[in-house]
Amino acid sequence: MKTRAAVLWGLHQDWKVEEIELDPPKTGEILVKWEAAGLCHSDEHLVTGDMVVPEEIREAAGLPPSFPIIGGHEGAGVVLEVGPGVTTLKEGDHIAASFFPACGRCRYCVTGHTNLCDLGAGTFGRGQISDGTDRHHIGDQGIAILAKLGTFAEHGVISEMSAIKVDPDLPMTAVALVSCGVTTGFGSAVHRAEVQPGETVVVVGIGGVGINAVQGARIAGARNIVAVDPIELKRETAMSLGATHTASSMAEAMPIVTDLTSGQMADSVILTPGVLYGDLLGQALSLTGKGGTTVVTAIAPMTQAQADINLFELAMWQKEVRGVIFGAGNPRFDIPNLLALYQSGQLKLDELITRTYTLDEINEGYQAMRDGKNIRGVIVNK
Ligand SMILES: NC(=O)c1ccc[n+]([C@@H]2O[C@H](COP(=O)([O-])OP(=O)(O)OC[C@H]3O[C@@H](n4cnc5c(N)ncnc54)[C@H](O)[C@@H]3O)[C@@H](O)[C@H]2O)c1
Ligand SMILES: [Zn+2]
Ligand SMILES: [Zn+2]
């Protein structure tokens, strides 16, 4: 069938919305009509090259080129058709995209860490999970899909392992947000920082991910939640969703956290800025108290290998640095669970959507993200 998708043809270019050819689903695959897709910062890392395997490494490994690629990994849609052998979904089901599939059989899946499923190794590779071939084409050319999803499209074919069935009464925009940013931010606080009642938490960077670390810390019972962001709108939104204090930089947060904790400093600092650079880790560790945890959620350029941290303090103050992907949980449990928290009114999602866009307005949406105007922009297909 023919459909439309936002395609990136190379680094530092705009997304180009164009007609593509979509093959029917093969074994284990589903055809999805994408209803909503969130504009997460991770897709921007494709544009800047932070999250693109360098071409010389690809060529040396004999891998196909990264571009053209259909972006989008935060998404919600309806199943239009199922391929042979699909057992967990049927036509008409509503789904959240899962940017890590879960095979259910690897070491990580069977030990309750489906966010680390071995199939995630293929995230930046070409083709479908089933057989490595493309379903998305323009003319003779196959097109890659980000995270085996490519939600910046009207329709797509994905593996059933990348789709999580959700309650059909839920608004698609809320489902789309939970498919990455909410699960990641909430899990950074609840699963990775393991926030306990009464603790002091600092969240650095209040975008679609960080605002949900604020909400996670609030729901977990933190006493002090310090939201750090240079942009006023972000700080105001954080205050309305659970933050107790704000600062425009980590340096400005130092005296606030010192005062709030009588010098003990934060139990956890969660790093969710748009891009992680090495100098931010040292600053975050300085805000972290004895026995505390610094959680690294934001994505750094793939080749960033330097961080300036005080190694003496790391050991002597028994601090911990913890990376986190997809909220360190089990999306097949966490996504429906977070949506139930939304339905009960405890997790706010509608308030996170600053603006919706049509697929054709995607570049406008990303410009607003770069300019710090959106908590989250969401593409809604008619
Ligand atoms: N680990 C994961 O599984 C995972 C999943 C999704 C997204 N991410 C990453 O999380 C990060 C945040 O994503 P997002 O979509 O919320 O981004 P966003 O662009 O919507 O928000 C980032 C926020 O950080 C603020 N900021 C930038 N530099 C800062 C600094 N030095 N100090 C304080 N605030 C700063 C910006 O003003 C902005 O409000 C990105 O790097 C994204 O790729 C990681
Ligand atoms: Zn994301
Ligand atoms: Zn697995």
Residue 53 pLDDT: 87
pLDDT one-digit tens code per residue, 4-23? 999 999 999 999 999 999 99
Question: How remote is the CA of residue 28 from the centroid of ligand 1, in Å?
Answer: 34
Q: Match 């697929």 to its residue by tokens.
A: 359
pLDDT one-digit tens code per residue, 299-349? 999 989 999 999 999 999 999 999 999 999 999 999 999 999 999 999 999
What atom in ligand 1 is closest to the CA of residue 369? 19
pLDDT one-digit tens code per residue, 36-61? 999 999 999 999 999 998 888 888 98
The ligand whose atoms approach the alpha carbon of 332 most closely is: 3
Question: How remote is the CA of residue 76 from the centroid of ligand 2, in Å?
Answer: 13
Per-residue confidence band for 122, with pLDDT thresholds at 50, 70 and 90 = confident
Distance in angstroms (rounded) separating the CA atoms of residues 8 and 366: 13
Residue 382 pLDDT: 85
Overall average pLDDT of the 140-164 stretch? 97
Question: Which range, of 125-134, 162-171, 288-297, averages the lowest pLDDT?
Answer: 125-134
Contacts of 312-319 with CB under 8 Å at 24 or more apart are: 313/285, 314/285, 317/289, 317/290, 317/291, 317/292, 318/290, 318/291, 319/285, 319/288, 319/290, 319/291, 319/292, 319/293, 319/294
Evaluate: CB of 272 within 6 angstroms of ligand 1. yes
Per-residue confidence band for 62, with pLDDT thresholds at 50, 70 and 90 = confident
Distance in angstroms (rounded) separating the CA atoms of residues 191 and 333: 13
Distance in angstroms (rounded) separating the CA atoms of residues 320 and 340: 32
Question: How remote is the CA of residue 276 from the centroid of ligand 1, in Å?
Answer: 8
What atom in ligand 1 is closest to the CA of residue 323? 1
For 370, residues 6+ apart whose C-beta sits below 8 A from its C-beta are: 44
Residue 55 pLDDT: 84
pLDDT one-digit tens code per residue, 182-203? 999 999 999 999 999 999 999 9
22: which strand partners? 136
Question: Measuring from atom 25 of ligand 1, which residue has the nearest CA?
Answer: 205
- 355 has a pLDDT exceeding 90: yes
Question: How remote is the CA of residue 229 from the centroid of ligand 1, in Å?
Answer: 10
Residue 58 pLDDT: 85
